Chain A
Amino acid sequence: MKVYFFHLMPYGDLDIAEADKHNSAWVTIPNTNFDPQKGMKLYNRYIGELELGDQLGFDGVCVNEHHQTAYGLMPAPNLIAAALARSTKQAKICILGRALPLVNNPVMIAEEFAMLDHMSGGRIITGFVRGIGSEYFSNSVNPTFSHERFYEAHELIIKAWTDPGPFSYQGKHYQFDYVNLWPRPVQTPHPPVWIPSQGSMETIVWCAAAERKYTYLQTFSPYPVAVKAFNAYREEARKNGYEAQPSQMGWAVPTYVAETDEIARRELKDHIEVFFNKFLRFPSIEMRLPPGYSSISSTKSLMEMKFKNRTSSTIDTLIDNGMILVGSPETVRARIEHCQKEMGFGHLMAMLQIATMPADMTERNIRLFAAEVMPHLQGAVKPQLRAIA
């Protein structure tokens, strides 16, 4: 198994009482709640945490893209990746991912990733996403074109990386008379593409297609949802005439370790509850699910699910749902090994800084995880044992 350190770079200094007045951590919460002096410290602290991850032997460090929110301060994740390209030495740098439909020039995404591939010495892993619903409000892009733009931008980027240029691309949403990347990427045929999702069947089918075999990442979801998604991926792969490998599946999960289970739960409680109840709060279902962002049938089932799960999360319900990993190193290790056996993933993306978690606590978590949990996982999965019925 390969082990990664996933960072959202949240605005950890968020005044929760103020945020409560706006009933949202996204789009409509005034940015007067962001203090630039604190922000400056946070960016440098967070980049340092990922650099520490590199030094401690994580297989990769991960950043991602979100807009106009306290949940994550990386509207341009490639800027962080560029800093890491120079300051890290061995870890893969994973950008999980760029939101393709939100841009009007996907060629620029191909160019930036190609640059990062050079600057990092071929260490990048790229990720493609659609962006979450609220990002169609913050970027003005028409959500009813979300799927079409994603597929078209993806096609254009892969072509830009692999087809000899110059060539012309004429799509419904994107038209370019000249596509001719300087630089071409280092990795061949192109940098790996991973797809983060919360279990959309359409995404799983698309990832598992024989011509792509993209690594599918299940993000922050209840245990049964993750199991179902990985099973669906394997089933889809078999339909396409091949066995899905663990390297095609990744699980992203908030993780906290301390000396004992009791200490870990006590220390994590406030931060994880703020994460799920405050940082992931939207003023209405309409902001999460803008019109046409998903098909009418999936919008209906998502609406029903969100309405059902309206009660706020507690650390106990999160543990019961298998949404988080928390405990002593032994507990967390055993839980990961159990989950790996059940889910069959080959990549674990541990989110080790959570919402308001301060620097000292985060560093202890990173160091303890790296020393007591990670070594038991890295290389622990034998290829012949990987396939799961």
Chain B
Amino acid sequence: MREVALDVRGTNVRMFEAGTGPTVLVLHGIDGLAVDPLLSELAKSFRVVAPELPGFTRSPIPDWMMGVSDAAFFTLDLIAALGLPQVHLAGHSIGGWIAAEVAIRSTHALASLSLLAPAGVMPREAPKQDVFLLSGEEGVRALFHDHALADQEIAGRAGDPLDIMLQNRAGLARLAWSPRMASVTLPRWLHRIDIPTFLAWGEEDRILPFSNHEIFAREIAGAKFLALPACGHAIPQERGADVARAMGAFMNGAR
């Protein structure tokens, strides 16, 4: 993956880019931008573009970013700045919520939509974890079903500067503090999504309950749903390669 930068109407956006073929724009989850098995596998058959969302990782929160609506309009500007007639849009967790908010506004520039355990709807049952009360290791463990992968992730992050973790928390809080990780209005507008949509959810997700998938599957006409047994919230790390292949087949069919 190479790191590139793009100016989006005055906001400098860091992005990872790799591969050739049709472009997939992937919006990262709650822990910001990092290379993971999902991106690597997708890059084998697509041109992957993964931007660092404003407010996350190494990007301070811009003054204009008041909530998810701004993040969605910003993403539409970003797609325009890429200069392509159409992209496949994908997102995990908070990134999935933003992707859905993009698609209810306009699908004009979207070839397909892939939502991996997206935030954005109120759970029927209270989530098992308050994502903003989790600390350090405990916070990583809550994302994974597989303990060995959680250990690996903890070891991998050991050297990360504290600044990056704190920036990811702040960026997430700006978008998803209240209501927690959810929107009151999104379900009302999901019916507007009129492009091929792929949806995947980990059956053991402790951050956003598996049952949340029902609302997306019901409201988005023709959505293809993939349930992931023995998988937690961290789909890109736990089942990244499998999900990338399923997404790839789906996106190829959608062209």
A141's partner among B172, B174, B178 (CB-CB below 8 A) is B178
Q: Is the CB–CB distance between A144 and B61 below 8 Å?
A: yes
Q: Does B226 contact A (CB under 8 A)?
A: no
Task: Assess whether B178 is in contact with A296, with CB atoms less than 8 Å apart.
Answer: no
A292 on interface, CB distance cutoff 8 Å: yes
**Complex: A314 Cα to B134 Cα, angstroms:** 29
A118 CA / B15 CA spacing, docked (Å): 59
A299 adjacent to B166 (CB under 8 Å):
yes
Please name all residues of chain A whose beta carbon is closer than 8 Å to the beta carbon of B167 when the two chains form the complex. 296
Q: Which of A141, A286, A290 contacts B134 (CB 8 A)?
A: A286
Known interface pairs A140-B178, A141-B178, A283-B133. Does A290 touch B166 (Cβ–Cβ under 8 Å)?
A: no
Q: In the docked arrangement, what's the CA distance between A287 and B174, Å?
A: 16
Contacts A142-B178, A144-B61 given; does A290 touch B173 at CB 8 Å: yes
Within B57-110, the residues touching A (CB, 8 Å) are 61
- Residues in A with CB closer than 8 Å to B133 are 137, 283-284, 286-287
Contacts of B174 in A (CB 8 A): 142, 144, 292
Query: By DSSP majority rule, is chain B's interface helix, strand, loop, or mixed?
Result: helix
Q: Are A300 and B166 in contact (CB under 8 A)?
A: yes
Interface size, chain B (Cβ < 8 Å)? 16
A142 pairs with B173, CB closer than 8 A: yes
Of B170, B172, B174, most buried by chain A (CB within 10 Å of CB) is B170
For A219-246 the 0/1 string (1 means CB < 8 A from B) is 0000000000000000000000000000
Instruction: List residues of chain B with CB within 8 A of the CB of A280.
Output: none
Interface residue? A334 (CB, 8 A): no
The verdict on A296 contacting B135 (CB below 8 Å), with A144-B173, A291-B170 known, is: no
**Binary interface profile of B, 130-159, with partner A (CB < 8 Å = 1, else 0)?**
001111000000000000000000000000
Q: Tell yes or no: B177 within 8 A of A by CB.
A: yes
Q: Inter-chain contact count A-B, CB under 8 Å?
A: 50
B169 at the interface (CB under 8 A from A): yes
Inter-chain CA distance A136–B174, complex, in Å, is 13
Does any Cβ of A come within 8 Å of B249's Cβ?
no
A101 at interface, CB cutoff 8 A: no
- Which secondary structure dominates where chain A touches chain B? helix
- A296: nearest chain-B partner, CB-CB: B166
B160: interface (CB < 8 Å)? no
Contact status of A291 and B172, CB under 8 A, knowing A296-B166, A299-B166: yes
Q: Write out, one digit per residue, whether chain A residues 294-324 have a CB within 8 A of any chain B CB (1) or not (0).
A: 0010011001000000000000000000000
Q: Check if A300 sits within 8 Å of B178, measured CB to CB.
A: no
Q: Are B132 and A296 in contact (CB under 8 A)?
A: no
Whole-angstrom distance from the CB of B54 to the nearest CB of chain A?
13
Report which residue of A143, A287, A291 has the largest number of chain B beta carbons within 10 angstroms of its beta carbon: A291
Residues of B within 8 A of A300 (CB): 162-163, 166
Residue of B nearest to A299 (CB): B166
Are A143 and B177 in touch, CB under 8 angstroms? yes
Closest 7 CB pairs of A and B: A291-B169, A291-B173, A292-B170, A140-B178, A291-B170, A142-B177, A144-B174
Task: Pick 25 A–B contacts, CB within 8 A, sort by A.
Answer: A136-B177, A140-B178, A141-B178, A142-B178, A143-B173, A143-B177, A144-B170, A144-B173, A144-B174, A144-B177, A283-B133, A284-B133, A284-B135, A285-B135, A286-B133, A290-B173, A291-B172, A291-B173, A291-B177, A292-B61, A292-B170, A292-B174, A296-B170, A299-B166, A300-B166
A residues in contact (CB < 8 Å) with B: 136-137, 140-144, 283-287, 290-292, 296, 299-300, 303
